[in-house]
Amino acid sequence: MEKVRLYDKTFRPFIPNEKIMDSIAKTAEKINADFRGCEDIPILLCVLNGSIMFTAELMQMLEFNCELVSIKLTSYEGTGSTGHVKQAMGLTADIRGRRVIIVEDIVDTGNTIVELKRILEEHGAAESKVCTMLFKPDSYTKDIPIDYVAMEIPNDFIVGFGLDYNEIGRSLRDIYILDE
């Protein structure tokens, strides 16, 4: 794996694709254990755009029927969070009375999770769980439990496997970290 340049920034290799896929498989096992044999059809809520790749890989490993729904929230500009979460696209289906598994690419401060939980409650979800590919425990400031964490990472800016820097870098198979 070599360094990559995106606009004005250089990123160095951080997490290879094999490790990403292994952590997704382990996360799917935990979710399968919790939902195996369920009579209802839970919703997998893909938080666009960042979690598309994670959601696609995870969904293929789930052993129960589920419905895919999307929502798009924004809070990042460049390499930093604005601290304000805006809904760029609402829920793509009715979730009233349904169990929802929120699928996030990354959880750092937790502001997006708070907003997602509020939206789901407002729309009548019966229950919601949080699943994230990447979790930054050093940045997380909220009380909401993160139910499924594929990998914990330090509080650094990363790109790849769905994560972007000003909308590019999502297509990288591996995850890269900002090379200061």
Q: Which of 60, 76, 79, 77 is nearest to 68 (CA)?
A: 60
Is residue 8 in a domain? no
Catalytic residue among 34, 94, 108, 143: 108
Task: Give pLDDT, residue 78.
Answer: 62
Active site residue 179: no
Is residue 55 in a domain? yes
Is residue 33 in a domain? yes
Whether the upstream peptide bond of residue 32 has omega within 30° of 0, thus cis, is no
Residues 99-138: b if buried by 16+ CB within 10 A, e if exposed: bbbbbbbbbbbbbbbebbbebbeebebeebbbbbbbbbee
Q: Could you tell me the residue range of the domain that residue 24 belongs to?
A: 17-154
Task: Give pLDDT, residue 85.
Answer: 84
Is residue 4 in a domain? no
Is residue 89 in a domain? yes
- CATH number of the domain residue 113 falls in: 3.40.50.2020
Count of structural domains, the chain: 1
For residue 7, CA distances in Å to 78, 164, 168, 169, 172 come to 11, 11, 9, 10, 15
- In order along its 180 residues, the chain shows pLDDT tens digits of 899 999 999 999 999 999 999 999 999 999 999 999 999 999 999 999 999 999 999 999 999 999 999 999 887 566 666 667 888 888 999 999 999 999 999 999 999 999 999 999 999 999 999 999 999 999 999 999 999 999 999 999 999 999 999 999 999 999 999 998
Is residue 2 in a domain? no
Is residue 147 in a domain? yes
Is residue 180 in a domain? no
